[in-house]
Structure 1
Amino acid sequence: MNQKVMILLHEYLIPPDRLTKAERLKSNTATEYDVLTNLKNLNYEVLPLGVSNDASIITRAIDNFKPTIVFNLMEEFHHKASFDQNVVSFLEMNKIPYTGCNPQGLMLARNKDLAKKILKFHGIATPAFHVYPLGSVLKMPDLKFPLIVKCLNEDGSLGLSKASIVNNEKKLFERIKFIHKKFEVDAIAEEFISGREFFVGLLGNQKLHVLPPWEFLINGKNPPKDEFYTDKAKFDLGYRKKKGIVTKKAELSELKLEEIKKICKETFGVLQLNGYARIDLRMDERGKLWVIEANPNPDIAFDDEFAQSAKHLGMDYPLLLEKIIGLGLKWHKLQSAA
């Protein structure tokens, strides 16, 4: 009997049955399409379930479909990124196996200031920062320019653009007000680390498999230094071509690779992550490594950095998906026995 996989995704991201290569490149459902089509090709019985703000839809689908596991592609619930942990808690309360990170890890990693405080407590380098809650009086923090301004609890790329990097108090306050007004969320300003940018994937629950670091380059070979990997740099094909943006396996010494592996494992551990995650780092001109963010349940489209890094080790895309499902089932078994 084939295993049943229910793919939990946003209702506006339910992919079509078929996309041409050109259509897929322009589609905002590439990850969902890749997961769905590959699981079907692996002979899983698959049910894509679109969800927005009604948890009863999940309950009914579980009762009717009786999935072996839920493949969780949700990044928010009821339009709030901080609610993604509640979806996973809902699955745990119903004793349903799921892929990806547990609720505690999602909560810790999604809250950028809390995650940074935990990292600092454990001696893991992360840029100095200051939080600006909605409605707060704006004051100049004890930080060194340039700074980068982000949404506090939303997905790391939301609201990020070249204007996110500020070099004076006036621009800082303008950007904070922009985040507050446009997204109606708290903002965080942190010291911007000029240098090289790496993405490091990890797979595992207790025993971790660290994937080769992937690097963001401009003109095919140059580190970004004072730029960073925005959504435009990632998804805008015209912009990528114009700037010569590529991501590929980082060329690093064995010593530096081991240092990155150690930092990423420690970050994964102290933030109580499991399943799969991506750690974003910058390396300054002195060679010091800084953890920028930890991203549980990162993008896993087959041409994304995570999947390409896995492929470099001989783990093709279908095998990666099966690995993620296997880790979810093992996590469920481990929690059930606790």
Structure 2
Amino acid sequence: MRLGFTYDLKDDYRRRGFDEESVAEFDSALTVDAIASTLTRLGYEVDRIGGLEALVRRLARGERWEAVFNIAECMLGRIREAAVPALLEEYGIPVVFSDALTLALAHHKPTGKRLLHERGIRTAAFRVVRCIEDAAAVDLPLPLFAKPVSEGSSKGIHLDSLVTSPEQLVAVCERLLTTHQQSVLVEQFLPGREFTVCVIGSAAAAEVLGVTEIVVDPEASHSYSLEVKSADDYHSIVQYRLCREPELAAECRKLALDAWRALRGRDAGRVDIRLDAEERPNVLEINPIPGLRRTDSDFTITTSLLGISYEELLARIMASLHTRLDLPAPRRPRPRTRARGRRLAGEPVTQGRCAVWFADPAKMTENDELEALVQSETLMTSLQALGWEVVLASAPSRSLDESVRRLLDSRPDVVFNMLEETDGVFALNNLPAYALETLGLPYTGCSGDAIALTTDKTATKAVLRAAGLPTPDWITTAYSAIESDHDAGFLIKPARADASTEIDENRLRLVDGSDRAREMLSTLPPAAHGWFAEAYVHAREFNISVLEIDGRPQVLPLAEMLFLDYPPEKPRIVGRQAKWNPSSFEYGHMERAFSVDDEDPALAARLRQLTLGCWQLFELAGYARVDFRVDADAHPWILEVNCNPSIAPDAGFVAAAARAGMSYADVAGAIVEAACRRRTHAVRR
């Protein structure tokens, strides 16, 4: 298919004298190149047209296309986003994304909101201010929110857009009327959380890809404003996380689809939602042409969290076009798989069959089940995009024999090992790796020996201390390993379990002094995982992720867990509440930051050095995470070494990789490649 491509380049408008706010919605040459090259890989003959003026000239010369991929939004007029589709409709040329009418309705916010209101779709009450006199007559209760009626990408939304007095409303409306030369939308301010919902498809075939919460640092801004989007420290101000609250996610999905279908959106788009004071989702606005910048558009950030590659995203958008026009399905490049049984000993596996091996969801806790299912399905999508044939091999029970039989039935070339329990015991999580080693199957992540050692927290600490690496003092019922003069508080922890799932911030066993720690250890009920007491370091926490790339460990950007507004006496601990309970204080007051390199380069260098020391000491492989506490004197202490940490789409490991510019597919591909490389080297030796 000969596919035209219309777009607006920021640089073109800058050269014509437009300021940065005026060009905020337009794209860079890098984005245009990425879209064009990806569509070419998908089999399309891409013809770069440019903006509206270039399109007019080429149509006048008699040029035509089978369809046009349109992200051009134009500069002037109340319905400027509709200009390119309207022109192409007149020439009978199909357009990717929504038609002129939908774009006009969505771009003129009051008209779109009226349509939603008529359809019974919840959206904030509003008024339109056409002159200063209208501002004084607004009869909605404060606080209010003011923005231009026909702009996107947060244009016109600034720190003063949240209005708390009639006088401020008049001043803000005067500024917007003067600056943007258009009316102002004044709506009731919705004080709740903000979400964006990504939609693929048209009419009844439309479906939601994902619901992502946008969390803006409240000290930086009350809203997702232009200042926030253009800030140099944008990534430290804004966080994105998939909504993992089933009822809320379902409400947002339904509301978004209702709004999308009401405006007759096509192919792909975004619906922005915010909760009101009663925590009910309301539609903020509909974006029928979603931003497609690879790293910092809300749409691509969401798909990256979901493990959908950029190529797969554009393929799905184009598939929607083919479906609604009843065109032959687009021909996707076929994975280059080798015939079964043809791989030679010692030859690297490039593409083949990868089995994702994980525990039976029916036997998991609710939180573990959701994370395992999301992670396995995301892995499948990502690896398929990389050319792998992927099978999900869930263990029918926690019996290792049955699990191995199920796995072998899938005849894999490589195994993505996510099986963390054997016969229901976390402490036996090394046995799946041992089984794979015995079978001679290449598998991802760390060896059985490394998993066995690092699962035993006290054994890990003993190895660290013997190697001269810093780790807090500890006590067991059998012995004490106390070197510090300060008899600090001690935290009672499971000795052989995922500590964050066994530690509940509401029921902490944190005691004063070693004597009290010994006493508590002696009175605790027996448990399969055992107990120990660790000196509590009341300071900063870092989770440092490592990914093997080209055979070498690469330390990803250093993540610090920030305990925001914690009372001085409250322990700074990442436990069950912080991970799993969205309504808890801990969940809402913990954030991840990547600022230590700028704030304290010496500490950052020391953390990297110790992390790589752990990688070498425990002979880690594939991917791992090392958790630290850093005391008031900036001395790091190693808490745990985690083999095969979670790579769920919203996990810290994936966030660190994204900070390094890696998509979920990049991470998954690197982990599998490392497994294949180790197998190759073993055969050669």
- Partner of 1:203, secondary structure, is strand
Q: Which range is displaced more, 207-216 or 221-230?
A: 221-230
Q: Once the 2 structures are TM-superposed, how far is the Cα of residue 240 of structure 1 from its aligned partner?
A: 5.3
- Partner of 2:624, secondary structure, is strand
- Partner of 1:294, secondary structure, is strand
Residues 66-215 of structure 1 aligned to structure 2 (within 5 Å): 66-132=411-477, 144-162=487-505, 163-167=508-512, 169=515, 173-174=519-520, 177-178=523-524, 180-181=525-526, 183-204=527-548, 207-215=552-560
Q: Does 1:298 align with 2:642?
A: no
Q: Does 1:11 align with 2:360?
A: yes
Q: Once the 2 structures are TM-superposed, how far is the Cα of residue 158 of structure 1 from its aligned partner?
A: 3.6
- Partner of 2:625, secondary structure, is strand
Given the superposition, is the C-alpha separation of residues 96 and 14 from structure 1 closer, same or farther in structure 2, using an over 3 Å criterion?
Answer: farther
| 2:379 alignment counterpart | 35
Distance (Å, rounded) in 1 between the aligned partners of 2:420 and 2:593: 26
Q: Once the 2 structures are TM-superposed, how far is the Cα of residue 79 of structure 1 from its aligned partner?
A: 1.4
Distance (Å, rounded) in 2 between the aligned partners of 1:50 and 1:222: 43
Q: Does 1:65 align with 2:414?
A: no
Pairwise CA RMSD of aligned residues? 3.0
Structure 2 residue identity aligned to 1:85: N
Q: Once the 2 structures are TM-superposed, how far is the Cα of residue 283 of structure 1 from its aligned partner?
A: 0.4
Distance (Å, rounded) in 2 between the aligned partners of 1:197 and 1:223: 16
Confirm or deny: 8 A CA contact 2:417 2:444 kept in the other structure. Answer: yes
Confirm or deny: 8 A CA contact 2:538 2:571 kept in the other structure. Answer: yes
Given the superposition, is the C-alpha separation of residues 321 and 127 from structure 1 closer, same or farther in structure 2, using an over 3 Å criterion?
Answer: same
Q: Once the 2 structures are TM-superposed, how far is the Cα of residue 297 of structure 1 from its aligned partner?
A: 0.3
Q: Once the 2 structures are TM-superposed, how far is the Cα of residue 107 of structure 1 from its aligned partner?
A: 1.5
Q: Once the 2 structures are TM-superposed, how far is the Cα of residue 275 of structure 1 from its aligned partner?
A: 1.1
Distance (Å, rounded) in 1 between the aligned partners of 2:569 and 2:605: 23
Distance (Å, rounded) in 2 between the aligned partners of 1:147 and 1:84: 27
Given the superposition, is the C-alpha separation of residues 151 and 209 from structure 1 closer, same or farther in structure 2, using an over 3 Å criterion?
Answer: same
- Partner of 1:204, secondary structure, is strand
Q: Once the 2 structures are TM-superposed, how far is the Cα of residue 65 of structure 1 from its aligned partner?
A: 2.1
Distance (Å, rounded) in 2 between the aligned partners of 1:24 and 1:112: 23
Confirm or deny: 8 A CA contact 1:8 1:70 kept in the other structure. Answer: yes
Given the superposition, is the C-alpha separation of residues 56 and 27 from structure 1 closer, same or farther in structure 2, using an over 3 Å criterion?
Answer: closer
- Partner of 1:267, secondary structure, is helix
Confirm or deny: 8 A CA contact 2:474 2:535 kept in the other structure. Answer: yes
- Partner of 2:584, secondary structure, is helix
Given the superposition, is the C-alpha separation of residues 58 and 226 from structure 1 closer, same or farther in structure 2, using an over 3 Å criterion?
Answer: closer
Q: Which range is displaced more, 226-235 or 161-170?
A: 161-170
Q: Which runs of 5+ in 2 are unaligned?
A: 1-336, 338-350
Distance (Å, rounded) in 1 between the aligned partners of 2:576 and 2:518: 21
Confirm or deny: 8 A CA contact 2:472 2:536 kept in the other structure. Answer: yes
Distance (Å, rounded) in 1 between the aligned partners of 2:523 and 2:388: 48
- Partner of 2:654, secondary structure, is helix
Q: Whose Rg is larger?
A: 2
The match for 1:324 among 656, 671, 674 is 671
Confirm or deny: 8 A CA contact 1:84 1:106 kept in the other structure. Answer: yes
Given the superposition, is the C-alpha separation of residues 225 and 238 from structure 1 closer, same or farther in structure 2, using an over 3 Å criterion?
Answer: closer
Structure 1 residue identity aligned to 2:540: R
- Partner of 2:532, secondary structure, is strand
Q: Once the 2 structures are TM-superposed, how far is the Cα of residue 154 of structure 1 from its aligned partner?
A: 1.4
| 1:284 alignment counterpart | 631
Q: Once the 2 structures are TM-superposed, how far is the Cα of residue 39 of structure 1 from its aligned partner?
A: 2.8
Any idea what the Cα deviations from partners look like across 1:167-217, whole Å, max 9, x if unmatched?
A: 255576446644x34x43321111011110000001128521001111111
Q: Which runs of 5+ in 1 are unaligned?
A: 16-22, 134-138
Q: Does 1:48 align with 2:397?
A: no
Given the superposition, is the C-alpha separation of residues 193 and 241 from structure 1 closer, same or farther in structure 2, using an over 3 Å criterion?
Answer: closer
Any idea what the Cα deviations from partners look like across 1:269-320, whole Å, max 9, x if unmatched?
A: 1112111100000100011000000000001112111111011111111110
Q: Once the 2 structures are TM-superposed, how far is the Cα of residue 164 of structure 1 from its aligned partner?
A: 2.8
- Partner of 2:391, secondary structure, is strand
Distance (Å, rounded) in 2 between the aligned partners of 1:70 and 1:289: 35
Q: Once the 2 structures are TM-superposed, how far is the Cα of residue 132 of structure 1 from its aligned partner?
A: 2.8
TM-score (norm 2): 0.44
Confirm or deny: 8 A CA contact 1:148 1:191 kept in the other structure. Answer: yes
Given the superposition, is the C-alpha separation of residues 216 and 13 from structure 1 closer, same or farther in structure 2, using an over 3 Å criterion?
Answer: farther
Confirm or deny: 8 A CA contact 2:544 2:626 kept in the other structure. Answer: yes
Q: Once the 2 structures are TM-superposed, how far is the Cα of residue 145 of structure 1 from its aligned partner?
A: 3.0
Q: Which range is displaced more, 57-66 or 107-116?
A: 57-66
Confirm or deny: 8 A CA contact 1:8 1:74 kept in the other structure. Answer: yes
Distance (Å, rounded) in 2 between the aligned partners of 1:25 and 1:13: 10
Given the superposition, is the C-alpha separation of residues 177 and 336 from structure 1 closer, same or farther in structure 2, using an over 3 Å criterion?
Answer: farther
Q: Once the 2 structures are TM-superposed, how far is the Cα of residue 337 of structure 1 from its aligned partner?
A: 2.9
Between the two proteins, the alignment pairs up a number of residues equal to 324
Q: Which range is displaced more, 26-35 or 66-75?
A: 26-35
Distance (Å, rounded) in 2 between the aligned partners of 1:193 and 1:265: 22
Any idea what the Cα deviations from partners look like across 1:243-277, whole Å, max 9, x if unmatched?
A: 42211214242222111110000011111211110
- Report sequence identity in percent: 21
Q: Once the 2 structures are TM-superposed, how far is the Cα of residue 42 of structure 1 from its aligned partner?
A: 3.9
Any idea what the Cα deviations from partners look like across 1:77-106, whole Å, max 9, x if unmatched?
A: 111222221111110111101011011111
Distance (Å, rounded) in 2 between the aligned partners of 1:194 and 1:332: 43
- Partner of 1:132, secondary structure, is coil
Distance (Å, rounded) in 2 between the aligned partners of 1:276 and 1:196: 23
Distance (Å, rounded) in 1 between the aligned partners of 2:409 and 2:475: 47
Any idea what the Cα deviations from partners look like across 1:105-124, whole Å, max 9, x if unmatched?
A: 11121111111111111111
Distance (Å, rounded) in 2 between the aligned partners of 1:99 and 1:26: 21
| 2:3 alignment counterpart | none
Structure 2 residue identity aligned to 1:236: N
